[in-house]
Structure 1
Amino acid sequence: MGKDLKDDYQTDYVVGQDNVARFGFDMHNIVFPVTAVLILAFVIGTLVFPSVSGEWLNGAKNGAIAIFDWGFLLSANLFVLFALALIFMPVGKIRIGGVDAKPEFSLLSWFAMLFAAGMGIGLMFWAVAEPVAYFTDWYGTPLGVEPNTQEGARLAMGATMYHWGLHPWAIYAVVGLSLAFFTYNKNLPLTIRSAFFPILGDKVWGWPGNVIDIMAVLATIFGLATSLGLGAQQAASGLNYLFGIGGGLNVQLAVIVGVTAIATVSVMRGIHGGVKLLSNTNMVIAAVLLLFVMFAGSTMAFLQTLWDTTASYATNMLALSNPFGRDEDTTWFHGWTVFYWAWWISWSPFVGMFIARVSKGRTVREFVTAVLLVPTLITVVWMSVFGGNALDQIQNQVGALSSEGLTEVSLAMFQMLENIPLGSIASFVGIVLVLVFFVTSSDSGSLVIDSITSGGKIDAPKSQRVFWAVSEGAIAGVLLFVGGDQALNALQSGAVSVGLPFTFVLLAMCYSLFKGLHHERRLLIAEGKM
């Protein structure tokens, strides 16, 4: 019985057999050149025809959101239910890498890396701006709630938490666990296509697998370049807000160059010497900033907001997850929730693969609990501290957010911090944290793209990692320099548009993972190891 089960996953494919070694690179002879050409064509097309490309990509994004809104929400709900089920199912005892596998990283370092790669930078950007936007009806209100009311404040926090809680982390968990399991338990390459071996068999090494990997690389590099550009704008706005040095294009480009340079050094040092070190640094700085704002701001407001946020998130989750009959908040529903789900899905190849890379030795139950539940609990505290202070200031007529409203998303956090003791110091720490989060995102993203474009190798040449790290910064910098916000928005629209086809990829991945885990459990039982 054990032999028959093992035969289900035997393959003649050897990692690197389709690779070509040139110019110090170890490239998959289809995925690497095709993605490089497509990325180059996209950048040139966006720069030469900014209006046309912007209109076309925005049309694709808006069409995907409007037509498939129900599909995004139902799929995200399914991912949450599937991930939660894995915690309680017998397959939860399966250990990634085999029964004798040991974790490569400590629990704290492991969590720090997955959190920093997953959404650390997004929490800096939106923890203040998003609840303020909902509360003040900046672009619609959730479930049609009346803005600038106490109920509006509670629902603003609950809806914000909805977008940053279980659903996005379930998306990451599905991809991360699939790749970790098939790589470390079934000895398949660390690349997206490997998760589909139970469905496609050896066909995954042909054109179907090439298409899947190419889509994953495009989604990853577009998403990272977009985030790098947006992060540069936030950091530049913060520096201008604090020091009056101007937050224009030159400062933004300087930020991109600096972040890319540090990320390049980090990626050369590898996971232990680069990403792990930066991620641990991230978590220390983030914890210090969180505790400072918690106690320097309104502590009572935080405690009340923490309760209100948790209660609103729990009680409104079903209503917010319902894709039908949303006439009262269609603008908000499409502009925020569906956009977020498409964005998280487009980011899932990058975040999921990186989480897989650092999760060997964890059980399925431990993996899903850490990836799904722990970040959600920490995020509810983070949102309550930053978003709660912002709403408290607005309701008490304190500061610029109260008098001017949400004028610029990248400034919202700094406008909130200026009204607490030692706010300038907190803002400076916030800028440092934004920059370090971006370095870790660029660093881990380069490792992921490097693995995919080398056919699943974990130890591809350093020169190849450097190439992708520099490429992310170059794409963001060139688009920002030549096309400005218009080009950056086009890039973001391209990344979100990839979310539609990748939704079906993730749904198939759930089935493949379910099938693979049960195959592994039957094998372990047959061998007397479970």
Structure 2
Amino acid sequence: MELIVSAGVIVAIVLWGVFAPEHLGAFFDTALATVTRNFGWLYLWVVLGLIALSLFLAFSRYGQLKLGADDEEPEFSVGAWFAMLFAAGMGIGLVFWGVAEPLSHYGTPPPGIEARTPEAANAAMRYSFFHWGMHPWAVYSVVALAIGFFQFRRGGSALVSTAVQSLPWAPLRRLGPAVNVLAVIATAFGVAASLGMGALQINSGLNAVAGLAIAPASQVGIIAVTTVLFLASAVTGVSRGIKWLSTFNLVLAGLLALAVLALGPTVAVVDTFTTTLGNYLSDFVRMSLRMTPFRDSSWVGDWTVFYWAWWISWSPFVGLFIARVSRGRTIREFIIGTVAVPTLAAFVWFSVFGGTALNLEIMRQVPIAEAVKADVSTALFALFDALPLSGLLSAAATVLVLVFFVTSGDSATLVLGMMSTRGNEDPPAMVKIVWGLLVAGIAITLLLAGGIQAVQTATIVFALPFAVVIVLLAVALWRGVKADWLEQELRERELRRQLRMQLATRDDKRHG
């Protein structure tokens, strides 16, 4: 029943996007503006609360609990685990926005800062750190932790609804089917929209490297090739396809960042990282709760609130996938691996790419900001044009984007397959193939009809009810962690009592 409802909603919105893309776009643009204007505060408080919860769980006594049996070992090595969660979480987003976001903020900074000034450059880097740092990863981490906890410690299904249905209040337990429907819709549309938007950036990269025309036919071909690749990876399973591709891409991303660091203004990049990290830490709470009640500005809604809604809308997909590959980790290890380490990696990435682009823009008058304003998907390649070995860098970046999209599509088909087989961790290959073809079909159809952007906006609108679901997941996780820790503590006390009795009996026999 849940899948029928999900499929019906998906088909209805796709047909709407095909036959009336402008009407679909206008409807969801209005809905998004209403949500961000009236509920922006909710997103800010929920996400900040998730950071507080994740940090408390990591560094409290509860951090020693495992996602699984107490003697269970992790399925994947630390390196492979991090590569997979990073690729699924936001690898492609960092490549797309690593140059584009800082340059966008430099040209249009937050309210109260003059554009294209040193202050605007500092704010651009600070807010890039903010938008891609602890906040999104805390959302993913808590959702994944709740799913993994109830799946691996309580024997529940690999579904978002499992944690919600553990709550002791009957009305909430009945929300399970609705939660699963929201999760399927958000995942299907989020991935389809990303495939469509990613095809645009890959098209820009191939245009820079090989002169491929920027046209709908090229973009459809790119989606088709990408789909074949991620389906081939999907049928090989998590321990082969996704793991191997994610590890390859993490190495390639690291080499690309090192190349830009070496070829660009190295000292300025290190200075940018140092200064921005200090600014981020000192302004953390202020940025986390910033709205503009006394200023007529849409900047916070257009960027921060939009991002928070986007991370929330992607959390069922990313959370389910991260939970799938995290069995055997302790809560402390899990949170450090899913919040602290990816945050640091994002900071380094933005410092290298955003810091280099801003330095070239300000110090050498390279017009990268103009390229970003004209077409965001060309931002990275505009940076490479100003560096030595630009052709090699552009080719490597294009491969990086392509493989990140393969891993995103691969993990998405896995998650959709799990959702459609009642939480089966290893759904049949045919189920994954069907979902992969459906998502690719949605992306191509909407790309040709001009409805990709509208569906991306629609995905964000679905984040509002899911923000409430995440609060319920957090409550269920907190209750479950406390109960399991108490049970473990009582068990250990009983073992210690029995050991003391055995020792006392042995001593009595010895002295008797």
TM score, norm. by length of structure 2: 0.94
Residue 381 in structure 1 maps to residue 352 in structure 2: no
Q: Contact 1:117/1:351 (CA < 8 Å) preserved in 2?
A: yes
How far apart are the structure 2 equivalents of 1:45 and 1:504?
A: 27
Residue 512 in structure 1 maps to residue 476 in structure 2: yes
How far apart are the structure 1 equivalents of 2:365 and 2:221?
A: 33
Q: How does 1:263-412 map to 2 (within 5 A)?
A: 263-328=230-295, 330-401=297-368, 406-412=373-379
How much does 1:128 deviate?
0.3
How much does 1:123 deviate?
0.2
RMSD: 1.6
Match of 1:234 among 201, 206, 210: 201
How far apart are the structure 2 equivalents of 1:457 and 1:34?
A: 20
How much does 1:283 deviate?
0.5
How far apart are the structure 1 equivalents of 2:306 and 2:372?
A: 23
Match of 1:477 among 426, 431, 444: 444
Q: Contact 2:313/2:466 (CA < 8 Å) preserved in 1?
A: yes
How far apart are the structure 2 equivalents of 1:101 and 1:329?
A: 55
Q: Which runs of 5 or more structure 1 residues have no equivalent in the other structure?
A: 1-29
How much does 1:326 deviate?
5.0
Letter in 2 for 1:471: L
How much does 1:402 deviate?
5.5
Letter in 1 for 2:487: L
Residue 130 in structure 1 maps to residue 78 in structure 2: no
Indicate the residue corresponding to 1:71 in structure 2.
42
How much does 1:149 deviate?
1.4
Match of 2:32 among 51, 61, 65: 61
How much does 1:202 deviate?
8.0
Residue 111 in structure 1 maps to residue 82 in structure 2: yes
How much does 1:526 deviate?
2.0
Q: Select between 454-463 and 188-197 the one with higher mean Cα deviation.
A: 454-463
Q: Select between 370-379 and 40-49 the one with higher mean Cα deviation.
A: 40-49
Q: Contact 1:32/1:454 (CA < 8 Å) preserved in 2?
A: no
Residue 195 in structure 1 maps to residue 163 in structure 2: yes
How much does 1:275 deviate?
0.7
Against the structure 1 CA distance between its residues 142 and 403, is the aligned structure 2 distance closer, same or farther, given a 3 Å change threshold? closer
How far apart are the structure 2 equivalents of 1:158 and 1:479?
A: 35
Indicate the residue corresponding to 1:419 in structure 2.
386
Across the two proteins, how many residue pairs are aligned to each other?
A: 494
Match of 1:250 among 208, 211, 217: 217
Q: Select between 256-265 and 307-316 the one with higher mean Cα deviation.
A: 307-316
How much does 1:504 deviate?
0.5
How much does 1:405 deviate?
5.8
3-state secondary structure, aligned to 2:367: helix
1:361-420 Cα offsets, whole Å, 9 max, x none, are 100000011101000111111000000011001102343315656311000010011111
Indicate the residue corresponding to 2:398 in structure 1.
431
Q: Contact 1:326/1:333 (CA < 8 Å) preserved in 2?
A: no
Q: Contact 1:134/1:156 (CA < 8 Å) preserved in 2?
A: yes
Residue 502 in structure 1 maps to residue 466 in structure 2: yes
How much does 1:43 deviate?
0.7
How far apart are the structure 1 equivalents of 2:151 and 2:175?
A: 18
Letter in 2 for 1:406: K
Indicate the residue corresponding to 1:49 in structure 2.
20
How much does 1:200 deviate?
4.8
Indicate the residue corresponding to 1:178 in structure 2.
146
Q: Contact 2:292/2:300 (CA < 8 Å) preserved in 1?
A: no
How much does 1:324 deviate?
4.0
1:480-518 Cα offsets, whole Å, 9 max, x none, are 12x12xx01110111000110000000111111000001
1:403-446 Cα offsets, whole Å, 9 max, x none, are 65631100001001111110111011001000100010010011
How much does 1:325 deviate?
4.1
3-state secondary structure, aligned to 1:155: helix
Against the structure 1 CA distance between its residues 327 and 434, is the aligned structure 2 distance closer, same or farther, given a 3 Å change threshold? farther
Indicate the residue corresponding to 2:505 in structure 1.
none
Q: Contact 1:158/1:311 (CA < 8 Å) preserved in 2?
A: no
Q: Which runs of 5 or more structure 2 residues have no equivalent in the other structure?
A: 496-512
Letter in 2 for 1:56: F
Residue 458 in structure 1 maps to residue 425 in structure 2: yes
3-state secondary structure, aligned to 1:73: helix
Q: Contact 1:143/1:320 (CA < 8 Å) preserved in 2?
A: no
Residue 36 in structure 1 maps to residue 7 in structure 2: yes
How far apart are the structure 1 equivalents of 2:62 and 2:7?
A: 39
Q: Which has the larger radius of gyration?
A: 2
Residue 91 in structure 1 maps to residue 62 in structure 2: yes
Letter in 2 for 1:169: W
Letter in 2 for 1:45: W
How much does 1:466 deviate?
0.7
Q: Contact 1:157/1:312 (CA < 8 Å) preserved in 2?
A: no
Against the structure 1 CA distance between its residues 405 and 447, is the aligned structure 2 distance closer, same or farther, given a 3 Å change threshold? closer
Letter in 2 for 1:191: L
1:464-493 Cα offsets, whole Å, 9 max, x none, are 011111111111011112x12xx0111011
How far apart are the structure 1 equivalents of 2:467 and 2:228?
A: 34
Against the structure 1 CA distance between its residues 491 and 243, is the aligned structure 2 distance closer, same or farther, given a 3 Å change threshold? same
1:270-328 Cα offsets, whole Å, 9 max, x none, are 10121111101111111110111111111011111111221221122222222444545
Against the structure 1 CA distance between its residues 304 and 328, is the aligned structure 2 distance closer, same or farther, given a 3 Å change threshold? farther
How far apart are the structure 2 equivalents of 1:318 and 1:390?
A: 28
Against the structure 1 CA distance between its residues 329 and 446, is the aligned structure 2 distance closer, same or farther, given a 3 Å change threshold? farther
1:98-141 Cα offsets, whole Å, 9 max, x none, are 2011100000000000000000000000010000011111xxx2
Against the structure 1 CA distance between its residues 97 and 510, is the aligned structure 2 distance closer, same or farther, given a 3 Å change threshold? same
